Structure 1
Amino acid sequence: MAHDERRLQVLRAIVQDFVSTNDPVGSKALAERHDLGVSPATIRNDMAVLEEQGYITQPHTSAGRVPTDKGYRLFVDRLSAIKPLSVAERKAIERFLDGAVDLHDVLGRTVRLLAQLTRQVAVVQYPTLSRSSVRHLEVVPVAATRLLLVLITDTGRVEQRVVDTHVEIDHEAVAELRGLLNSAFVGVKLVDAGNKVPDLLETAPPHLRALVGAVSATLMETLVEPGEDRLVIGGTANLARSSLDFPGSVRPLLEALEEQVVVLRLMGEVDPGTVLVRIGEENAHEALVEASFVSVGYGSGDRALGGLGVVGPTRMDYPGNMAAVRAVARYVGQLLAES
């Protein structure tokens, strides 16, 4: 076996032991616990080289070594493949998510499930509206001069607004308006839909013009600015369990999660199928330098609707967390594609 390959095995063993025990790892323990096929002296030499190369380091008070961010990065990059979850785990995901009644419920359950599976903080982004299309527009009379306008996107998002028409509502005209709006907007991307409103005003039949005029400003508002991107966060109590991993304080990380902007920015780069892992200093935000972020896009086909992932200490079970994040994202994508 080449030296490099053997050293990688030693690094893998150090990462696995340190993640499971939180104790710095010595050469003697490695020789006893892992079948590395070489003498403790060779393991000591390999550890010396790994330390020199910056993959492991020695905490002041200990004879053992712990992985550095660079060591975790090499470990993650050299995972031959993410092991799939077991059939039982996949069935549990299915059961847990299957009873969901709407998008809010799907995402709420997803966060709880991810936090349970990984014992980390779970974050799920609402489907990004810029990537959504109009699935249906509903217009419902709610009073003599009042309509409710409901936008349903292909990502399951529902936005509703009340419109004052200032004129008595004719039910037949409302049915015609509904038809007109749906033929103009269904399937249109939200980012393009706002531009179509002025055309609609010009091309509406004369008897519907007043009604189209009444709903046009609200329609514009609903299509162009329907709520900001949001995150659902769960399992923050899991950070208390790993407070030793944040020697300063876990507070800056909690504040960054609360601000959401930091995490949304990290989510901006996700795509379905590719699990991204950012370790320690790779997270360009000071609150996350002692944390790792494992994320992936969820969606239908190759189109990401949003991202989901877990945040925790750099001392985490990367293969397990990557597998859980990927499996849950796949299932959420399927669920939303069917809805």
Structure 2
Amino acid sequence: MNFPLDPRARRLLHTLIAQHIREGTPVPSRILAKQAGLEVSPATIRNIMANLEDVGLLAAPHTSAGRVPTAQAYRLFVDSLLEVAPLREPELERLREQMAPGTGTQALLAQASEMLSAMSRFVGVVTVPQRGQSAFKHIDFLALDDNRVLVILVFPDNEVQNRIVQLQRPFSPEALEQTANYLNRHFAGQGFAQIRRQLVAEMQQAKSEMDTLLSAALDISQQLLAAEPRPEDMVLSGQTQLMGAQGLSDMDRLRSLFEAFSRKREILGLLESCADAQGVRVFIGEESGLAPLQACTVITAPYSSQGQVLGVLGVIGPTRMPYERVIPIVQATADLLGDALKLD
């Protein structure tokens, strides 16, 4: 949204938003005049504030002579007035210590969510990588009854998953062993979506003696993608941090927000829509498209390993939040989590 503000108006708006974020109270013109450091009269300050209110950047609570920023003002603030500095080295070191490689995927995701909440003092959220997009390290098969096969998967972070898949036709134990050897030899280090695409291409050119092996590999890859468990789509931490937060104290609004946290589906959809984003995205108020988050800001960043996006993490808090602090927290956590996971 484009607001043609002159330098004085921009400086006053920046000062007012920064003051409101610090104190949480409406900012009167006399305080603004002192904080902004402009050599102008109080009347000029009041006129500028009135103009900012006319274009929808400020609002005047009926109980106060001061002004508060609107969601549109926060958007302008984030887009063109905010100066974001990287995290200080002690804070980066704290994150590194909590997200050391080799900790295990689930523990790292939980730790990232908890660190986002602890450092921002709001809600930390991390979407869980889906293993169908992740590389496997080793695979074994065990034939069961009724065309069912137990698949034993080992991932590069040493997490082991056992899945039972229903195949379209029976395969002998010898064929399953050959298929496992073939997948381990040619496809270790790749995800099953990628494996399936390559197998389809190979089957079109394969010799007849390879048909059974490739057919078994393709069938198992398809079933693994279809049967992938999703016990937890995302990890949330710090929901109680929002209780009593300014702008969220209304019980009906807070109840609606906590119900959204419980359902997860809507918030997960918002986060997953950011998977292809380059760096940090900021949704302020209604920009999220989710009614329970109308009084909130959501700051997200994708996390990746070796060029592959694994998921999205972020912070959910009130629109009155210290953006210059939370944005670098989200970015640094995404970078360090991707480095620690090394799923590929």
Quick check: TM above 0.5? yes
Please point out which of 161, 186, 196 is paired with 2:188: 186
Instruction: Identify the residue that residue 106 of structure 1 maps to in structure 2.
Output: 108
Residues 107 and 124, structure 1, Cα contact 8 Å, conserved in 2: yes
Please point out which of 243, 259, 264 is paired with 2:263: 259
Task: Give the Å deviation of 1:193.
Answer: 3.3
Instruction: Identify the residue that residue 332 of structure 2 maps to in structure 1.
Output: 327
**TM-score of the pair, normalised by structure 1:** 0.83
3-state SS of paired residue (1:315): coil
**TM-score of the pair, normalised by structure 2:** 0.82
Please point out which of 115, 119, 122 is paired with 1:120: 122
Separation (CA, whole Å) in 1 of partners of 2:82 and 2:316 = 23
3-state SS of paired residue (1:245): coil
Larger mean Cα displacement after TM superposition, 311-320 or 94-103: 94-103
| Superposition pairs of residues 1-339 of structure 1, within 5 angstroms | 4-79=6-81, 81-98=83-100, 101-129=103-131, 132-139=133-140, 148-152=150-154, 159-162=161-164, 176-194=178-196, 196=199, 199=203, 219-228=221-230, 230-242=233-245, 244-247=247-250, 248-267=252-271, 268-271=273-276, 273-300=278-305, 302-337=307-342
3-state SS of paired residue (1:297): strand
Task: Give the Å deviation of 1:234.
Answer: 0.6
Task: Give the Å deviation of 1:7.
Answer: 1.2
Residues 139 and 147, structure 1, Cα contact 8 Å, conserved in 2: no
The structure with higher relative contact order (CA 8 Å, sep 6+) is 2
Task: Give the Å deviation of 1:287.
Answer: 1.0
Change (3 A) 1:303 1:209: closer
Change (3 A) 1:86 1:142: farther
| Matched AA of 1:126 | V
Separation (CA, whole Å) in 2 of partners of 1:3 and 1:167 = 71
Gaps spanning 5+ residues in structure 1: where? none
Separation (CA, whole Å) in 2 of partners of 1:219 and 1:234 = 34
Separation (CA, whole Å) in 2 of partners of 1:111 and 1:219 = 31
Task: Give the Å deviation of 1:38.
Answer: 3.5
Change (3 A) 1:25 1:241: same
Q: How big is each residue's C-alpha offset from its partner over 1:272-331, in whole Å with a ceiling of 9 and x where there is no partner?
A: 642111111112121111111100111135542211001111111111111100011011
Q: How big is each residue's C-alpha offset from its partner over 1:158-208, in whole Å with a ceiling of 9 and x where there is no partner?
A: 5422579999967xx8764432122353344432434638959x97979x9
Larger mean Cα displacement after TM superposition, 100-109 or 270-279: 270-279
Larger mean Cα displacement after TM superposition, 243-252 or 303-312: 243-252
| Matched AA of 1:325 | V
| Matched AA of 1:335 | A
Task: Give the Å deviation of 1:270.
Answer: 3.3
Separation (CA, whole Å) in 2 of partners of 1:117 and 1:7 = 32
Q: Percent identity?
A: 30
Q: How big is each residue's C-alpha offset from its partner over 1:82-141, in whole Å with a ceiling of 9 and x where there is no partner?
A: 2100011111110111176211011000000000010111110112456x2433332176
Separation (CA, whole Å) in 2 of partners of 1:100 and 1:39 = 61
3-state SS of paired residue (1:42): helix
